[in-house]
Chains A and B, each alone.
Chain A
Amino acid sequence: MSTGRPAPQEDRRDLRRESAEIAALERAWERPRGFWGWVISTDHKEIGLRFIGTAFFFFALSGILAAFMRLQLARPENTLLGPDRYNQFFTMHGTGMMFFFAVPVMEGMALYLVPLMIGTRNVTFPRLLNFSYWTFAFSGLIMFSGLLLNMGPDVGWFAYVPLAGPAFAPGHRVDLWAQMITLVEASSITGAVEIVTTVFKQRAPGMTLDKIPLFVWAQVITSFMILFAMPSVQLATSLLGFDRTTHVTTQFFNSAEGGDPLLWQHLFWFFGHPEVYIIFLPANGFISAMLPAFTRRSVFGYPALVLSNIATGFLGFGVWAHHMFMTPLPELGQGLFTAASLMITIPTAISIFCWLATIATGRVRLTIPMLYVLSFFAVFIIGGLTGVMLGSVTIDSQVHDTFFVVAHLHYVLIAGAVFPLLGAILFWFPKWTGRMPSHRLGMLSFVLIMIGFNLTFFPMHVLGLHGMTRRIYTYLPETGWGTMNALATMGAGILAIGFVVYLLNLWWSGRRGLAAGENPWESDTLEWATQSPPPRFNFRNPPTVKSRDPVWLDVPGTPVVTGLSTEAREVLVTTAHDANPHHRLHLAGESPWPFITALACAGTQIGMIFRPHAYLIGLPVVGVTLAMWFWPSHGPEPLVAPKGAQREAGAPGLST
C-alpha cells in the first residue's frame, strides 16, 4: 500500500502510460463481437439494461391485456371478450406484471447499478448473470406465447387449487403456468445470489457496512428476501405440476386423498406477500438514491432507514396469512397475522418520515424524477391506508375479492414501486446513455400518468364497496356500476397515452438529448464518478471510499486502487464487514454454456408441461451443460502478481 505523487515533469509519461492502460483494459474487458457475443455477454451493465428492457416489453404486453380488460368492463353486458378469454387475460396480466415485470425490472436496476455504486468492475459470477437473463427471457416468452396457442393460463395469478388442480383445469394451461413460474424464479434467485455476494465481497476499500449506499442496502435486503421467498413458490409450482402430470399425479392438494388445498395457499402466500416487499424495497432504494441529488443534502436518518428496511424484510415473512382471512384459520392465528400486518406499517412510516425530513430540510429541485418521488408520497399513502383497513379481519371479510382489493393493490404497487421506478429510469438515463431526458416530454407524461392512474383506480375503491367482485368479465346494467367503470376505462386510456409519451421521451432523448457528462444531477454515489455511459471496466482505477457521500465529500484526495491486472478481468475482493482489501479475483469470461444451460432448463420445463419423462432426459442434459460450464480449461494459475503476464481474459476453449 503506497501513496505517492509523481513530480510534474513526469506528467507526459504518465498520460502515455494512462492511455496504454486504458487500451489494455478495453481489450481485457471487451466481449466477443457480433450477435453471438451479444448472446453470451457477461457485462453487468449490458445484462442489467437487457433485464430492464425485456421486463418493460412484458410490462407492455401485460398492460395491453389490462387495456382489453378495461374496454370489456367499460359498459355493462359488453361482448368484446368472452369469459374464457377474459380469464386468460386477467391471469396473464397479473402473472406478467408480478413475475415477468416487477421482480426482473428491479433486479435489472440492481444488476446495473450495484457494482457501480460499490466501486467494482463486474458482478462476482458473470456467467451466472448470463444464465439468469436467459432463463428470464425464455420463461417470459414461452409464458406469453401460451396466449397465442390458446394455452393461456386462466386460473388467476395465484392459481388456487382445486380450481388449478387436475380435476377442474384440464388441458395444459395451468401446466404451462406452473412450469414457467418455476423457471423464472430460478432467474430471480440467481440474480439475488449475484447481488448478495458482490455486495459482501467486492465493495470499494473503506466502504464499511455503515457506508453502503441506501440503494444498495435496499437491494441486498431484497435479495435476501428473494432467497427465502422464491423457493416457496418454486416448490409450490413444482408440487402443482406433479399433482397435474400424467404418470405422476401426486396428491399434495387433493383433499380426497389426504392432500390439502390450503397447503397451496400457505406455500403461495409465504412467497406472495414477501414478493410485495421484494418489489417495494428496491423502490425505497430509488427514493433514497434520488433524494440527495434533488434536496442537496444526504438522506436524513441513515441508520433508521437501513434498520427499517431490515425490519420490513423480516416482518414481510410474518404476514402471509392475511391473504387467507377467509379460510378457516384458527382465531389466534388471525389475530397474530392482523397484528403483524399492522406492525409492518411502522418501519414503512419510519422510512417515509426520514424522507420527509430530508425534503423539509433540503433545498428541493423540482425535476421530473423528483416529481415522481413526491407523487409516491401522495399516492402510495392512500394505498398504504387501504392496506391498514384490509389488514383487519373484520373489514377484509366485507371487501374480500372485490374491486376494493384491486384498487388497493394497484395503489400500493404502482405508486409504491412503479412511480419511483419511472423516476429512477429518468434519473439514471443520463448514466446509461450519456444524454439527458427531455423535461417537457417528461412533464407531459408525468401529468398524463398521474391523471390516468388516479382516474383508473380510484373509482375501483367505490366499485368494490358497492359490491363489484373482481375477475368477473361483465355485469348487469341494474348494478349501477356502469358510470364508475366507464370512468376507469377512460383513465386507463389516459394512462396508456402517458406511458407512450414516456417511452417516446426515452427514444427521442436517447438520440437528441443534451450531453449529460459524468454527473448531471450532481449526485453523491460512486456511479456518478465515472463516464456516462461507463466503460466496460467501469472505473480505470476503482475508487476507495471514506464517507457515505463519496462523490461530494471524498473526491479528490481519496486514494484510488492500482495494481489490478490490466491484461485480465480482475477485481479486488474485500472483507465482508470492513471492506479491507483481501485478494485479487480473476473473473470468468464469456462462455456459451450458461446460455446453453438456460436453453436446456427451458427445454426441460417445456417438456414437463406435457410429460414427466422430460425430467429424466432434461436433468442429465442440464447436468452435462453445467459440467461444461464449470470445466476448468484455463492454463496454470499465475502464482505471482500478474503485471505483464500474458493471459487471456476469458477461458480459452470455452469462450468463442
Chain B
Amino acid sequence: MPAEPTLDVSNLPSSSLDAETPLWWGNVIAMTVETTILALLLMCYFYIRKNFQLWPPPYVDTLHPVLHPVPKLLLATIETGVLLLSVIPVVRLDRMARENAKLSPQSHPPAERDHWLRESEAQRQRVEGPMVRGLVLVALMAAASCVIRWFGFRALYFDWNDNAYASAAWSLLVLHFIYLLFSLVEVALVAVWIGRMGLKEKLAEDFTLVAGFWYWTVAAWLIIYAVVYWSPRLMS
C-alpha cells in the first residue's frame, strides 16, 4: 500500500470562539428560528388589527368602561430599564469569558508552554469569583424582570381570551416570558457550573453563547415593548 501524503492537524487548537465554532452556528440558527416565530407572531398581531374599528377595542366588561384601553406603561417600562441595565454586566462577563477562552498552547514554543499554561490557569482562578458574582447579578436581574412581567400582564386590561387583540398581545408577552425564563436558567446554570468546576475554557466558550442569546432576548423585548405598549398609542 503506497503511503499517502498527509495533512497533519495535530498542532491545531482544540477550541475556538464565535463564527469559527459549530456551537456558535447552532446558537445563531436557534436564534434565527426564534426570530422567525416572533416575526410571524408580530405579523399576526398586525393582521388581526384590520378586523377592529378601534384598536385596542374598548374595554366594556366593567363598571368603568375604557374607550381606548392602551396597555399601561409603568411596569413594562421599569422592566425595559432592568433588561437594558442587565446588558452592562453581561457585556463585562462576555469580555472576561473571551479573555479566558482563548487558549491555544500550540501558539507558544514548547519551552514556554508550561509556564504559559500555569500563568493562564492562575489568571482564570482570579476571575472565577468575579465571574460567578456577575452571573448571579444577571440572574437576579432576569428574575426581577420575570416578576415584573408576571404583574405586568394585568396592564393589558383584557384576559387573553377576551378577543383576538388580547390573544395576540398576551401571546407576544408570554412567548417572551418563556425566552426570559430560558435565559435565566441558562445564566444560573453557567454560574453553578463555574462555581463547581472552575472557569474551564469550554464553560467560557459556552458563556459567550449564553451572552449572545441574552442580547437577543433584550432586543426581542425592545421590539415587543414597542409594539404592544407604544404602537397602539402612536398608530391609533
Given A573-B16, A637-B200, A642-B14: A258 and B48 within 8 A (CB)? yes
Inter-subunit contact B10/A15 (CB<8 Å):
no
Given A563-B10, A638-B14: A250 and B167 within 8 A (CB)? yes
Query: Inside 8 A of B19's CB, which chain A residues have their CB?
Result: 576
Given A266-B47, A562-B7, A573-B21: A250 and B160 within 8 A (CB)? yes
Q: In the complex the two chains form, what is the Cα distance from A202 to B21 in whole Å? A: 10
Query: Inside 8 A of B206's CB, which chain A residues have their CB?
Result: 632
Query: Inside 8 A of B51's CB, which chain A residues have their CB?
Result: 255, 258-260
CB distance from B171 to the nearest CB of A (A): 7
Inter-subunit contact B5/A557 (CB<8 Å):
yes
Render B90-127 as a binary contact track against A, CB cut-off 8 A, 1 for contact.
00000000000001011000000100010000000000
Inter-subunit contact B161/A227 (CB<8 Å):
no
Q: In the complex the two chains form, what is the Cα distance from A6 to B1 in whole Å? A: 11
Quick check: is A151 within 8 A (CB to CB) of the other chain?
A: no
Given A252-B168, A561-B7, A639-B103: A619 and B178 within 8 A (CB)? yes
Query: Inside 8 A of A513's CB, which chain B residues have their CB?
Result: none
A5 contact from B5, B103, B170, B203, Cβ within 8 A: B5
Number of A residues near B (Cβ < 8 Å) is 79
Given A249-B161, A260-B47, A584-B13: A637 and B202 within 8 A (CB)? yes
Quick check: is A531 within 8 A (CB to CB) of the other chain?
A: no
> Which B residue sits closest to A229, measured CB to CB?
B36
Q: In the complex the two chains form, what is the Cα distance from A242 to B11 in whole Å? A: 54
Inter-subunit contact A639/B6 (CB<8 Å):
no
The interface-forming segment of A70-78, A230-238, A485-493 is A230-238
Inter-subunit contact A643/B185 (CB<8 Å):
no
Q: In the complex the two chains form, what is the Cα distance from A638 to B185 in whole Å? A: 28
A620-656 at interface with B (beta carbon < 8 Å) = 623, 627, 630-632, 636-643
> Which B residue sits closest to A581, measured CB to CB?
B9
Given A227-B33, A252-B44: A258 and B203 within 8 A (CB)? no
Inter-subunit contact B40/A193 (CB<8 Å):
no
Inter-subunit contact B8/A2 (CB<8 Å):
yes
Quick check: is A248 within 8 A (CB to CB) of the other chain?
A: yes
Quick check: is A251 within 8 A (CB to CB) of the other chain?
A: yes
Inter-subunit contact A250/B171 (CB<8 Å):
yes
Inter-subunit contact A259/B4 (CB<8 Å):
no
Q: In the complex the two chains form, what is the Cα distance from A564 to B14 in whole Å? A: 10
Inter-subunit contact A585/B9 (CB<8 Å):
no
Quick check: is B197 within 8 A (CB to CB) of the other chain?
A: yes
Inter-subunit contact B48/A260 (CB<8 Å):
yes
Quick check: is A157 within 8 A (CB to CB) of the other chain?
A: no
Quick check: is B219 within 8 A (CB to CB) of the other chain?
A: no
Q: In the complex the two chains form, what is the Cα distance from A518 to B60 in whole Å? A: 75
Query: Inside 8 A of B171's CB, which chain A residues have their CB?
Result: 239, 242, 250
B158-207 at interface with A (beta carbon < 8 Å) = 160-168, 170-171, 178, 182, 185, 189, 193, 197, 200-203, 206
Quick check: is B150 within 8 A (CB to CB) of the other chain?
A: no
Q: In the complex the two chains form, what is the Cα distance from A259 to B163 in whole Å? A: 7
Inter-subunit contact A640/B32 (CB<8 Å):
no
Quick check: is A254 within 8 A (CB to CB) of the other chain?
A: yes
Q: In the complex the two chains form, what is the Cα distance from A643 to B1 in whole Å? A: 24
Query: Inside 8 A of B63's CB, which chain A residues have their CB?
Result: none
Query: Inside 8 A of B234's CB, which chain A residues have their CB?
Result: none
Quick check: is B65 within 8 A (CB to CB) of the other chain?
A: no
Inter-subunit contact B14/A584 (CB<8 Å):
yes
Inter-subunit contact A4/B167 (CB<8 Å):
no
The interface-forming segment of B23-31, B68-76, B77-85 is B23-31
Inter-subunit contact A231/B203 (CB<8 Å):
no
Q: In the complex the two chains form, what is the Cα distance from A189 to B103 in whole Å? A: 33
Given A267-B40, A632-B202: A559 and B6 within 8 A (CB)? yes
Inter-subunit contact A259/B185 (CB<8 Å):
no
Inter-subunit contact B20/A582 (CB<8 Å):
yes
Quick check: is B235 within 8 A (CB to CB) of the other chain?
A: no
Quick check: is A377 within 8 A (CB to CB) of the other chain?
A: no
> Which A residue sits closest to B165, measured CB to CB?
A258
CB distance from B147 to the nearest CB of A (A): 17
Quick check: is A556 within 8 A (CB to CB) of the other chain?
A: yes
CB distance from B64 to the nearest CB of A (A): 22
A575 contact from B20, B33, B200, Cβ within 8 A: B20
Query: Inside 8 A of B170's CB, which chain A residues have their CB?
Result: 250
Inter-subunit contact A197/B52 (CB<8 Å):
no
A263 contact from B20, B44, B52, Cβ within 8 A: B44
Q: In the complex the two chains form, what is the Cα distance from A583 to B13 in whole Å? A: 5
Q: In the complex the two chains form, what is the Cα distance from A215 to B48 in whole Å? A: 41
Q: In the complex the two chains form, what is the Cα distance from A250 to B163 in whole Å? A: 7
Chain A to chain B contacts (Cβ below 8 Å), 5 pairs:
A14-B1, A252-B44, A259-B51, A263-B48, A641-B106
User: What is A's interface to B at a CB cutoff of 8 Å?
Assistant: 1-6, 11, 14-15, 124-125, 128, 189, 193, 196-198, 200-202, 205, 227-228, 231-232, 234-235, 239, 242, 248-252, 254-255, 257-260, 263, 266-267, 270, 541, 544, 556-564, 572-573, 575-576, 581-586, 619, 623, 627, 630-632, 636-643
Beyond the given A5-B5, A584-B12, A623-B185, could you list 4 further A-B residue pairs with CB under 8 A, ordered by the A residue number?
A4-B5, A197-B26, A563-B12, A572-B12
Instruction: List the 6 closest A-B pairs by CB distance, nearest first.
Output: A563-B10, A250-B167, A258-B164, A259-B164, A3-B5, A124-B22
